[in-house]
Amino acid sequence: MNTVISLKNISWIRQKEMIIKDVSWTIQEGEHWALVGRNGSGKSTLLNMISGYLWPTKGSISVLGETFGRVNLQELRKHIGIVSLSLSERFSSTVECEEVVVSGKYASIGLYEKTEEEDFKKAAELMKMLGILDLKTKNYGICSQGEKQKVLIARALMANPKLLILDEPCNGLDLLSREAFLESIETLAHLQNGPTLIYVTHHIEEILPIFNKTLLLKNGEVYAQGNKEELLNSATLSNFFNVPLEAKSEGGRTYVKILQYEKH
């Protein structure tokens, strides 16, 4: 089994403050992971290190078999797809959705390379798979947040990535849009030769059955990691979030409820 990501004792210090503290994490091919943490837990910093935009203060990083420090990161990033709100905001509101998708082949914001008819055919196939073919010629700026996120998934798939990072992709989505978007993630997970998925969230109920592994990140440290069903329970999550919670599993997903505090 091939190793997709290997983080060994990595830390990152900013202005003398330890943001990431001695994190070790290994992801094998065939695994899909949920990365869970509260706001400010270090999730985005960790993702930026995996993508090569931040360098660890100590420790070593290997992604897709390539060790940082001995690899062309620009070339490596072509094999890593990212879907995030910050990426969405970088596109012009007047660009057509199919152009956003095609730009994924070149890992660019906008089309500056010479495109081919096959590029647009592939974009159409990906958009059809995700149920957004009707958005082909629609301006990106007038799409709903859920539509934009699906367009970005299609964009990420243009380059046949081996790793796809979904960074809190349901932020800003209403309930129905969220569930429609999560159906698209389920589709991705079952693609033959599809990418390894990392789903980043602080909402436990978004973690789909296809995510078989979970890493809980707290204050820049690994609180726990391993099989999802062993971590997403009332006791572990209550300690993790520092609040009494009740966790119930239904249909392969876990739903949590904050229990009422005792009054003294």
Q: Does domain 3-258 have CATH number 3.40.50.2300?
A: no
What DSSP element (H or E) covers 236?
Answer: helix 234-241
The CA distance from 119 to 104, in Å, is 10
Per-residue pLDDT, 20: 95
The gap from C-alpha 32 to its chain's centroid, in whole angstroms, comes to: 10
User: Whole-model pTM?
Assistant: 0.88
Contacts of 183 by beta carbon, 8 Å cutoff, 6+ apart: none
* pLDDT above 60 for 23: yes
> Predicted confidence band at 234 (pLDDT cuts at 50, 70, 90)?
very high
What type of residue sits at position 114? K
* Nearest C-alpha neighbor of 48 from the set 75, 73, 16: 73
**Where is pLDDT greater, at 107 or 255?**
255
Q: For residue range 98-124, list pLDDT tens digits in order.
A: 999 998 887 767 666 677 889 999 999
The CA distance from 137 to 134, in Å, is 8
* pLDDT above 90 for 264: no
Q: For residue range 73-97, list pLDDT tens digits in order.
A: 888 888 898 888 777 788 888 999 9
Per-residue pLDDT, 41: 92
Tokens 């520092």 correspond to 242
* Nearest C-alpha neighbor of 225 from the set 2, 37, 19, 13: 37
User: Over pLDDT 90: what percentage of the chain?
Assistant: 57
* pLDDT above 80 for 254: yes
Beta bridge partners of 224: 216
Select the highest-mean-pLDDT range: 43-52, 191-200, 226-235: 226-235
Sheet holding 66-67, edge to edge: 17-28, 3-14, 58-63, 66-67
Q: For residue range 137-164, list pLDDT tens digits in order.
A: 999 999 988 899 899 989 989 988 999 9
**Any idea where the domains of the chain sit in the sequence?**
3-258
What DSSP element (H or E) covers 188?
Answer: helix 175-189
What type of residue sits at position 254? T
Tokens 């899909």 correspond to 32
Residue 139 per-residue DSSP state? B
Q: What is the dihedral of CA 190, 191, 194, 199, to 10 degrees?
A: -40
